[in-house]
Amino acid sequence: MKKWLKEVVLETSNIKLLPINENHKEDLINASSDGNLSELWFTSVPTKSNIDDYLIKAIEDYNHDKGLAFVVIDKNTDKIIGTTRYTNATPEHRRLEIGYTWYAKTFQKTYVNSECKLLLLTHAFEELNAIAVEFRTNWYNFPSRNAIARLGAKQDGVLRNHQIMLDGSLRDTVVFSIIESEWKACKCSLSHKIEQIHKKTYR
């Protein structure tokens, strides 16, 4: 059966999204140490103790056409600064989710997230012909919720008691999405936002 998600390299002049593999393990651990991201209880960032499982799941999801994970590379330093992926894909319905996204603290609140999302959304809607792209986050991850809303995604609802976390707490998951008919306007807005960020950064 023909796969929907195929390995691809996506890039701008500043960042590159490269399909993840087991050789990226140490670089991902190093990136997550910038800001001690693994200590954030409301998000899932790999640690030395679970990085192998993290990579195995990414690879297995790709093999089953359920996901495609990328490392995020800063092209100025050629270093891995985080990761993001397509996940929970349903090829028969041409729907997928963008998730598992985190960046080294040095690169947070910069152009990186906007450029990554523009690359992923463009590929999803214009190459994969997706009819909807979802984003999900923990109710308590307010920075993530705000960032998703700024992309132009609309909140669909809240999945209450959606998951049992490792510490036994119950996670409410906030679900957002961008649908096919909204993509053109969303792309214009996101492109303009990136342009303004770069003007502000480099002026």
- Residue 56 located in a structural domain: yes
Sign of the C-alpha dihedral computed for residues 191, 196, 197 and 203 taken in this order = positive
Domain range for 51 is 10-202
**Residue 201: predicted pLDDT:** 59
Residue 169 contacts residue 139 (beta carbons within 8 Å): no
Residue 118 is part of a domain; what is its CATH number?
3.40.630.30
- Residue 90 located in a structural domain: yes
**Residue 37: predicted pLDDT:** 55
Which region holds residue 49: left if phi is over 0, alpha if psi is between -120 and 50, else beta?
A: alpha
- Residue 1 located in a structural domain: no
Q: Among 85, 87, 52, which Cα is nearest to 70's?
A: 85
**Residue 63: predicted pLDDT:** 97
Total number of domains constituting the chain:
1
- Residue 14 located in a structural domain: yes
- Residue 120 located in a structural domain: yes
- Residue 2 located in a structural domain: no
| Radius of gyration of the chain, Cα coordinates, nearest whole angstrom | 16
- Residue 176 located in a structural domain: yes
Question: What is the residue-level pLDDT of the chain in tens, covering all 203 positions?
Answer: 699 999 999 999 999 999 999 999 999 999 988 756 555 544 567 788 889 999 999 999 999 999 999 999 999 999 999 999 999 999 999 999 999 999 998 998 889 999 999 999 999 999 999 999 999 999 998 988 998 998 999 999 999 999 998 788 999 999 999 999 999 999 999 999 999 888 775 44
**Residue 49: predicted pLDDT:** 81
